């Protein structure tokens, strides 16, 4: 019998088709689990172990080695006994199967078992509440849905639940939320997950850069190409379902569409006006041609040196461990320089050394490929109370190749405008056989565990240097395009 789990609810918030494939897909079409995903699994287990150890003398019964059915029977027995804490217990009701990290006995209530009841709590490698920078704080839906799933099972098994939902975050702090605020969306999500698991709904892939870490990416990418699916275009995503409702079912359809036809009420697509539709049509044509398109009008700052700058950080630890710089003075090959924290305790001294570099860099432009560098530097400045004038100087000299150039002045025959995709189209190659920021994090964690293996650090540095050199290659590509567009008598 197929089962619906808390993981299905978690995955549903990320990708509906993932839920369908996990229960109905051909396992032979799954790719290998990436090193970063494996790292996340291990970090999750490590976070759980550390929290259990922090409880000291509090008695904990561990059911993690038991099968689902064995775990369920033992969980019921322990709940009837009223043990204080059950780790990796199992809750079953029909097709619904849940294994919360903790089942915690609460004495302020009653259940079918006696003058107490149990609460399900998950231990997370992140934080539950998110917000900041003008956004209203909100509790993460994927965490809430899992707790809501366990609450549903507990109510059916013990006849009662506590008033609040809670998790233990990465800092071993308890974070609470109001379950009522998630009641309706959870019920809708549960119905959707059930239909997908049982194959009553198949859904479709929605291709995006977030898919690259998924085991089903190769399968979904092939499906999108085979079906000429609109999500094969950059920045379409889930909007493809609305496009299909008005007859734009393929990239070929989009390339041939009459834009004005989709501006009237009968065929109006929400949040898509004439400008957006015209750009989408253009991207469809470029996808079919297989060649990038560059629009003129851009220019680059003229400074003594160009610095191609890339940060490597580990969000699972809240750690920035590398600042890489390819420094180009326009006269010879670029020189790679870096500031690296060989251990998390070295982060502050590494950041301060980099701050001194910025302060003394002189007439430079910092080329980056996202807002990440700026955001990371701001956070580090606040964390270590660094000179804000240095940060201001950096911001004034930063040029974001992604938002200021790629998105505004070009289109490419690919679903993602990531640096890997764009650089590949202009012939740039990374030295590593599997280059990615996610893998860099995994390599760094492996290096921390085995600091004697210097080749791991070398691999990270080479990968970071290639990221910087890829930015240089992209800038030079656009410089050539600008030169080619000039009248012959104006060329240098």
C-alpha–C-alpha distance, residues 188 and 357, integer Å: 53
pLDDT number for residue 32 = 83
pLDDT number for residue 250 = 97
Helix (H, G, I), strand (E, B) or coil at 398: strand
Is 178 a residue whose pLDDT tops 90? yes
Question: Using one digit for the tens of pLDDT, what is the confidence trace for 379-428?
Answer: 999 999 999 999 999 999 999 999 999 999 999 999 999 999 999 999 99
pLDDT number for residue 489 = 53
Greatest distance between any 2 Cα atoms in the chain: 91
Is 492 a residue whose pLDDT tops 70? no
169 in the same domain as 65: yes
341 in the same domain as 401: yes
**Mean pLDDT estimate for the chain:** 93
CB neighbour list of residue 163: distance below 8 Å, 6 or more residues apart: 179
Is residue 202 in some structural domain?
Answer: no
Is residue 299 in some structural domain?
Answer: no
Residue 150: its H or E element: helix 141-158
Average pLDDT over residues 471-478: 98
108 in the same domain as 133: yes
158 in the same domain as 272: no
272 in the same domain as 152: no
C-alpha–C-alpha distance, residues 176 and 180, integer Å: 12
Q: Chain centroid to CA 450: how far? A: 27
pLDDT number for residue 488 = 59
Cα distances (Å, whole numbers) of residue 26 to 14, 167, 216, 220: 20, 34, 10, 12
Contact 237, 231 (CB under 8 A): yes
pLDDT number for residue 425 = 94
How many Cα atoms are found within 13 Å in the side-chain-facing hemisphere of 102?
A: 24
Question: Using one digit for the tens of pLDDT, what is the confidence trace for 50-69?
Answer: 777 777 777 899 999 999 99
Task: Determine how many CB atoms are found less than 10 A away from the CB of residue 392.
Answer: 11
Residue 233 sits in a domain whose CATH number is 1.10.150
Is residue 298 in some structural domain?
Answer: no
**CA quadruple 299, 301, 306, 309: dihedral positive or negative?**
negative
Residue 311: its H or E element: strand 305-314
Helix axes 347-359, 372-384, angle to 10 degrees: 110
Cα distances (Å, whole numbers) of residue 449 to 37, 194, 342: 17, 41, 11
Residues pairing with 130 in the sheet: 138
Domain range for 426 = 305-488
Residue 137: its H or E element: strand 135-139
C-alpha–C-alpha distance, residues 92 and 99, integer Å: 9
Residue for token pair 């000299």: 397
Question: Using one digit for the tens of pLDDT, what is the confidence trace for 190-215?
Answer: 999 999 999 998 889 999 888 888 99
Contact 465, 432 (CB under 8 A): no
Pairing mode of beta strands 91-93, 117-123: unpaired
Is 487 a residue whose pLDDT tops 80? no
43 in the same domain as 9: yes
176 in the same domain as 98: yes
Helix (H, G, I), strand (E, B) or coil at 84: coil
Residue 339 sits in a domain whose CATH number is 3.30.420.10
Is 132 a residue whose pLDDT tops 70? no
Is 491 a residue whose pLDDT tops 60? no
pLDDT number for residue 161 = 96
**Domain count within the chain:** 3
Contact 459, 467 (CB under 8 A): no
C-alpha–C-alpha distance, residues 85 and 29, integer Å: 40
185 in the same domain as 109: yes
C-alpha–C-alpha distance, residues 304 and 472, integer Å: 15
Question: Using one digit for the tens of pLDDT, what is the confidence trace for 220-278?
Answer: 999 999 999 999 999 999 999 999 999 999 999 999 999 999 998 889 988 899 999 99
12 in the same domain as 144: yes
pLDDT number for residue 199 = 93
Is residue 206 in some structural domain?
Answer: no
Contact 39, 441 (CB under 8 A): yes
429 in the same domain as 387: yes
Lowest mean pLDDT among 87-91, 124-128, 183-187, 454-458: 124-128
Cα distances (Å, whole numbers) of residue 242 to 160, 268, 279: 41, 9, 17
Is residue 300 in some structural domain?
Answer: no
How many Cα atoms are found within 13 Å in the side-chain-facing hemisphere of 136?
A: 1
CB neighbour list of residue 264: distance below 8 Å, 6 or more residues apart: none
Contact 4, 96 (CB under 8 A): yes
Nearest to 54 by CA among 202, 208, 168, 210: 168
Residues above pLDDT 70, as percent of the chain = 97
Helix (H, G, I), strand (E, B) or coil at 347: helix
pLDDT number for residue 279 = 96
Question: Using one digit for the tens of pLDDT, what is the confidence trace for 72-118?
Answer: 999 999 999 999 999 999 999 999 999 999 999 999 899 999 999 99
Is residue 149 in some structural domain?
Answer: yes
Residue that is last in its domain, among 135, 170, 197: 197
Helix (H, G, I), strand (E, B) or coil at 109: coil
C-alpha–C-alpha distance, residues 259 and 276, integer Å: 10
Nearest to 39 by CA among 364, 375, 447, 332: 447
Contact 101, 75 (CB under 8 A): no
């Amino acid at each position: 019998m197929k089962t619906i789990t808390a993981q299905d609810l978690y995955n549903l918030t990320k990708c509906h088709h993932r839920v369908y494939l996990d229960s109905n897909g051909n396992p032979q079409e799954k790719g290998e689990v990436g090193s970063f995903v494996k790292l996340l699994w291990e970090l999750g287990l490590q976070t759980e172990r550390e929290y259990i150890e922090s409880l000291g003398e509090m008695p904990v019964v561990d059911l993690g080695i038991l099968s689902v059915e064995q775990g369920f029977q033992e969980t019921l027995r322990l709940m009837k006994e009223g043990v204080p804490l059950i780790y990796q217990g199992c809750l079953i009701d029909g097709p619904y199967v849940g294994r919360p990290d903790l089942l915690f006995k609460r004495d302020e209530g009653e259940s079918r078992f006696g003058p107490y009841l149990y609460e399900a709590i998950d231990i997370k490698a992140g934080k539950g509440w998110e917000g900041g920078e003008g956004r209203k704080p909100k509790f993460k839906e994927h965490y809430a849905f899992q707790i809501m799933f366990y609450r549903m099972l507990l109510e059916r098994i013990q006849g009662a639940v506590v008033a609040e939902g809670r998790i233990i975050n990465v800092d071993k702090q308890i974070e609470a939320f109001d379950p009522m605020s998630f009641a309706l969306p959870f019920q809708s999500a549960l119905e959707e997950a059930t239909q997908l698991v049982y194959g009553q709904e198949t859904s479709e892939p929605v291709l995006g850069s977030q898919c690259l870490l998924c085991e089903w990416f190769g399968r979904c990418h092939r499906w999108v190409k085979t079906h000429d699916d609109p999500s094969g275009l950059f920045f379409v995503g889930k909007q493809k379902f609305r496009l299909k409702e008005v007859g734009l079912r393929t990239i070929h359809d989009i390339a041939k569409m009459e834009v004005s036809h989709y501006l009237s009420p009968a065929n109006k697509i929400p949040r898509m006006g004439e400008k957006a539709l015209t750009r989408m049509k253009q991207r469809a044509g470029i996808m079919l041609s297989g060649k990038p398109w560059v629009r003129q009008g851009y220019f680059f700052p003229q400074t003594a040196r160009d610095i191609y700058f890339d940060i490597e950080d580990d969000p699972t630890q809240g750690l920035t461990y590398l600042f890489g710089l390819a420094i180009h003075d326009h006269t010879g090959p670029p020189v790679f320089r870096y500031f690296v924290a060989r251990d998390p305790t070295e982060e502050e001294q590494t950041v301060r050394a980099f701050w001194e570099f910025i302060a003394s860099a002189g007439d430079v432009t910092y080329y980056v490929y996202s807002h990440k560098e700026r955001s990371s530097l701001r956070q580090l400045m606040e964390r270590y109370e660094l000179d804000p004038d240095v940060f201001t100087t950096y911001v004034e000299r930063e040029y974001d190749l992604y938002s200021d150039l790629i998105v505004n002045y070009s289109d490419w025959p690919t679903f993602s405008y990531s640096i890997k995709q764009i650089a590949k189209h202009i012939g740039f190659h990374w030295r590593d056989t599997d280059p990615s920021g996610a893998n860099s994090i995994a390599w760094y964690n492996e290096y921390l565990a085995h600091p004697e293996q210097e080749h791991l650090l070398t691999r990270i540095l080479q990968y970071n240097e290639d990221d910087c050199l890829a930015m240089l290659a992209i800038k030079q590509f656009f410089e050539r395009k600008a030169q080619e567009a000039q009248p012959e008598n104006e060329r240098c």
